[in-house]
Structure formats: C-alpha cells, structure tokens
Structure 1
Amino acid sequence: MSLALLKQVLFPWQEAIRFFPDEKPLRDSYDVVVIGAGGHGLATAYYLIRDHGIKDIAVLEQGYIGGGNTGRNTTIIRSNYLTPEGVRFYDESVKLYQDLSDDLDINLFYSTRGHFTLAHSDSALRTMRWRAEVNKHFGIDSEVWNRDQIAKDVPFLDLDCGGEHPILGALYHAPGALARHDAVAWGYGRAAAQRGAEIHQKTRVTGIKTSGGAVTGVETNRGSIATNQVVSCVAGSTPRITKMLDIETPLEIYSLQACVTEPLKPFLDRIIVSGSLHVYISQSSRGELVMGASLDPAPLHSTRSTFDFTEGMADMLLDLFPFVGDVKLVRQWAGMADMTPDFAPIMGLTPVDGFFINGGWGTYGFKATPISGKTLAYTIANGRAHPLIEPYALERFANLSLVGEKGAASVGH
C-alpha cells in the first residue's frame, strides 16, 4: 500500500492531494496556446516552462487529457531508423525517456525489452543491414541477427511461420522499450500544470484569428482567446486546424488499429515486428499481448475498429506464435494516423507568423513524445527551428527535400 493511500485510510477527514490542480477559468489571453492535450502538446507546455521560463500557457483539449492517439498507441519506443535525420532525432527521445520517470516524478513503467524487426525476404534483409549500418554510424545499438540467434533468444517464435513466410534474419535493436502511454500524458500534464500551465479539457478550437499574416487569437466553444503564438499538436485532426489558416499540407489520415488479449503467463520479453506480415506484438507487464497491424487501406477520419483488422492480424500472428490460437481478445481500438508522403513528421514554423505545427507522426508519435516537446518548445521560444527538426519543416514538400523514412516503418504501409 502506498503512503498516500495509507494516509487516506488512517486520516479520511483530510482532503486527498489531487493529481492535477483544480482547473481554472479560461482567461481571455495567454502568451501561448497549445491545441491538443496529448503527450506532444503537454510535453511542449512542460518544456516551455522548464527550459524557457514561458509560463502563461493554455493547453486546449476538445476531449480529455491523453484521449487521442496518446491513449491509442502500442507504446513502443525505439531509435533504429533509416535516415540520419531520424536516427539522431529518435535517439534523443530514447535518452529523454530513460530518465523521464525521475524527471516527472511518476512511474512510467519504462521497460527496456529489445526490438526485433523480422526479415522474411532477401530484400528485407538487405534493408535491415542498411539500417544497422546507419544506426551504428550514429552510435545506436542495432545489429542483424541470423535465424539461430533469434531462435535462441525467442524460443517460442516459429521461424518457419507455418511454412508460408520463413524468417531469414532480423534487425535487433537492444534499446527498444515500452512505457505506459497514459502515464506519459499524465506525467507531462501534471508537471506542466504544477509549474503554471493551464489545461482546459472539453474546449474545442473552432477558429484561429490572424491579422497581417500573423496569429492574433483563437476561437473556442467557450469563447475567444487573444494570443500571438498557437501550437497545433492534434495528430489526425491536424487538417481541421490547418484549414482554418488556409495552410496546405500533404497529410492523409488513416485509421490504425490495435488490440489486447487476456493476460497470459509471461513468455515474451521482446518486441516483435514484421513489416512483411503487417503485425507487431509485445507482452505488457500485466501479461496481455498488445498487438497492431498496418494502416487501414483507405483514408478515413475515424476511430472505429473492424473485424477485418482482427481477422487479418490474428492470421499473421498465428504464423509467428501458433500456440496462442485459443487466447481471447479483450479489446480493440483505433487511432487516426496522420501520414506524410516521406513517412516523417512536419514540425516547426509555418507561413503564418506565430503558428507552429507538430503533425504527420503516422505510427511514430508516442516514441517521439519527449524530444518532440523539447524541440518544439525551443522553436517557439527562439523563433527558429531547433536543429534536430530543421529537416522536418513543412516547406520540404515544396522544395522536394524529402526525408524518406518509409524503410524504417514498423509495419509495411
């Protein structure tokens, strides 16, 4: 029993300490307005205060804290990307994650597991070798393993995949990890609120006001707010926000589904990913199998889940772990993945002065949470892009300076 719970039992007349401060009335002006109280938005607010001393911040959320993609992902953290830009960016995020529980004073259940990306063909194996060399060049712990090494490390894995898609090798990324997604959002939210940021749930942005090409305020379902700095951190809702400013992006929104099973006795301490089979799987600290597949085949602004997803994913899962055929699924869900043509995010300044964008995360958003917030806070405070996100500028699509991160997708899209 925790000390806080014991205190509540022994002294029930004392008011319990709230995890979040009481919500304050929405004021009519703030220095910075962050749209979206998911991991990225709350991390941005936190680092604005901690690193740059900017405290007059309102975080506006149309639903509830962490109720968007932050609460709908499969919690994988890694930095084994293909491009130098991606490797540097996500490696800094992994480093921040490793100390984040202490930083935010909350148990994130961060667990280093090791991450396998399976290769089922010669071409896939060549890509794994390519990624391994890029990773090693930047000091990232990644290497290609053969079948014997995989068999020894993951004895329950069927390397022949039922004879349909035999595994030829894999990229093994030792720092691959898992963390509680809701705890990340709550931790950043509490830390930001304790330092002065205001978080306003059930507050939907309905318009953004400008004058002379610069932001002057936002309209919400609860009234108008004057501000000259607005940050969009809304994942699959990004096109709705950018449309308010007539900013064009190449984003397309797809549903990305996942599910969990009933708890099982622990047997899988690694993260297993197969881009060829369109499936990834890990086992949670409670014993559930957490599983996902590729994007739905057509653009859709929806978080509905389907039987087609479950059927297709289960078929491929049984090729990898045939003994789980009788295991029951407990829950399935979907998020809205905002995809760019080069599978890399859009971050930083925009043509509208004072409006900053953070989107295009596709399937990568959760693992980028700390570094996304930190670099975006720097960009807002200094009026120029942080060096780590310069390659992710919106303008790259106009000048054809694409990043090309598709080869590092966890699942084939």
Structure 2
Amino acid sequence: MANELETKLHRIRQHLLGSVPHSIVERGIRHFEREEIQQALACLSAAVEQRSGDPRAYAYLAFICAKQGLEREAADFITRALELDPAQQAWQAALGESFLKAGNAAAAARHLQLAVDARPDMYAAYPALAESYRRLNDYERALRLLEQAPEHALTLELLNEIRAEAAMYARNPNAITRRAALLPYCTAPELDREAPVQENTPIGPIWQYWGQGEGAAMPAIVRASLASVKRHCGARQVIVLDDTTVDAYVQIPACIRKIQHTHRAHFSDWLRTALLAQYGGTWVDATVFFSGPIDEDVLRAAFFLYHWPPSKLVNKNSYLISNWFIHAIPHHPIIEGLKLVLEKYWAQNEEALDYFIFHYLFEALVTLHPGLRRQWQEARPRISSLIPHELFQVLLEPFDPAQFAAITAHSNIHKLTYRLDEFKRPYHTFRDEMETR
C-alpha cells in the first residue's frame, strides 16, 4: 500500500513539474487545507524544485514539517519563506500554532515568541504563546504576556485559568496536567456564592451507601464499619442507601445515571454532593469505622472535610482534602458547586480523567473562586486526614490493645479499606479485630 502511494505521489510530482509554479502552490495549499498532507507535500515540493519564488510554498512546507515533528526542517522552510516576504510574520505564528497542536510546546513557544518579537501588536498570537508557556509550566511568562495585551485581545477565561494553574503548581506540581485539565469545568462565576445563614439548622442524617445492598457478599470490614456507625450515632438517623433506594432521595440526571453501575466510585462522588446539598448532614463512606461519636465541633460546623497537609513528601498526589467523610449544612455553596461541576464533567465525558476527579474539582473550585476559597480556608475545625488514617496503616499488623487505645485517643473516626489481600495471617490482626467488633 505504501509503495502504491509513493508511486502515485511520484507521478503527481512529475506531472506538476511541467505546470506553472504559482498554480502548483495553490493546489498544494488546497490539499493542505483538506488535510491531504501527502498530496500537499508533492505539490509544494514540486514548486520548490522549480525554484518557485512563491514564499507560500516554503511556509506550507514548514507547516507540514511541524505536523510531522520535523522541527529543524520546519525552521529552515519558514526562514526561507520570510526571506522572500519579510512582512508575513503571521506565518511564523502559524508555525508556532502548528507545533502547539502537534504537542511540541517548546517549539511552539520559540516560533510564536519570534513572531511577537517581530510584531508586538500581533495580539492574535498572544493566547497561543501564553498556552505554550503554560504547558512548559512557565506561568510567570504566560501571565506577563496576557496581562500586557489590550483588553479586546485578551481571553479573560484563559487568563484566569492560567492564574489558577500557577497557584496550583506553586502549591504542589504533582499531576498538574490532570488537575489543570479540570479548570474549564469550574469557571462559571455563579459558582462563587456565600453560605446560607446557619440559624437553628437541623444537623441532618448520617448518609451511607453500598450499591449492592447488605447481602452475603458484603465484605466483613464494611459490615463492621456500618455497624460501628449505628453504634455511635446517638439519636441521629442513619440512612444506608443502595441502588434500589437512592431514587427515593435524589433525582439522578441522565449524565450521572449512565455511570451508576459502571463507575460506582464516581457515582458515589456525585451522590454525596446531591444528598448533602438537598438535606445536609454527614456523609460517611461504608469503609469508615467509628470507635466513638463524631466530635461536637464537627457537628456544629457549616462545612467540614478532613484536609491533607501541603507537604509534597507526605502528599505526593497533591490532594487538598479527603471526601470519605463530609459534614455540611443544606445548600452549602462548595457542596452545590461540586455537584454542578461533577454533572458538567459527566455530561461531556464517558470516562474519568482520574480516579480522584472529585478532589481535583474541589481544588479547581477553591482556586478559581475567592469566596469558596475563603469558606474552605475559614472552615473549622481543621483536622489532618493523616490522623484518621492511623488505623488504616496497621490493619495487617498484629493487634495490640495498647496501640489501638493510642490510635483511638487521637480520633473516633477511622478510614479503613476492604481492598487488602485475603491471605490469612498466623496472628490476630487489627483487621481481624475490627471485623469482629
């Protein structure tokens, strides 16, 4: 097949060599615009072989080279094109944009910067140049470029996104590409609202969810965790939902319904926001074990999540929060914002960008919106997620009553997991102890 194509292209070029160079270039450009790259290459090469003085032949050959990742050749062709027509600095910018589309941000930045240096008023090139620097994590240059552009040429949304991404990168550079990819879902200004006044607001139920229901297949650690919550809930109502009961409490949009059985963890992400937004209360994952009641400080809060410390060593995945335990009053802006952006994401996608999409959308919201950021930063109490993970860290170690007492003295709330190997240890583990409580 490749040989047939090469033979065909050779015949085209041989035929073209007898044509007028200008018409060959026109034909090559038409092929290029129709994404017929091989035919375009044949036409434009023939024009160059005839020593055409048409600079467009060299410019479009440069664009073709950019598509194919040939940076040096592209630079040579664009240099020749501009020697023939120095006024066409837009070609230099177009070459940069071609490299950007091809995923070569470094080459894109070089050529776009050359174009802007030659013509500082070429404001149409500023967004692409800023995007190139953004992909290189050079946020300072990207922001400086956009901030010096006149307002009519500025994409305010891009400026805000780059500002937010710069703040996220400064906070923690890990997974920055995936984190930043979620910013566009969170830009709507109406998301930035104040929390409702909290006066005599009922605390609300404790919400839990295990999609398959409380059947024989339920892992022992889940069964023990659910029982521990009921044991320490006091007078509060505990509502454990499954796939047969969720519709009685929330209206599930089509964009979320499609993931209910195929992406259970992500459906659960949305479900907690929907329940808390409508009713308020406390969301508790099915693998959270209570060794005592929830602290009164948490129950009095308008909004509470465990947070992760900013240390890059401790928090290599850059999460701000954990979402397995959430307490909120009804209609809290952060909870309602998360619900809306999760729906927006799943309306446009079939797969999750990352397992921790909830965490990254939370970061995007509080980074883009000053009001939400303030509500998150001022939320009290503020408790590190490391503390309720202490029991998690020793689940497969030999059970030690003194160590258990020390761990439960730090927290009554413990995040566990059922995703551990089922190999039976020759000793009584912390997991064994939890499963029998």
Q: Which has the larger radius of gyration?
A: 2
Give the TM-score taking structure 1 as reference length.
0.24
Bigger proportion of residues as helix: 2
Bigger strand fraction: 1
Higher relative contact order (CA 8 A, sep 6+): 1
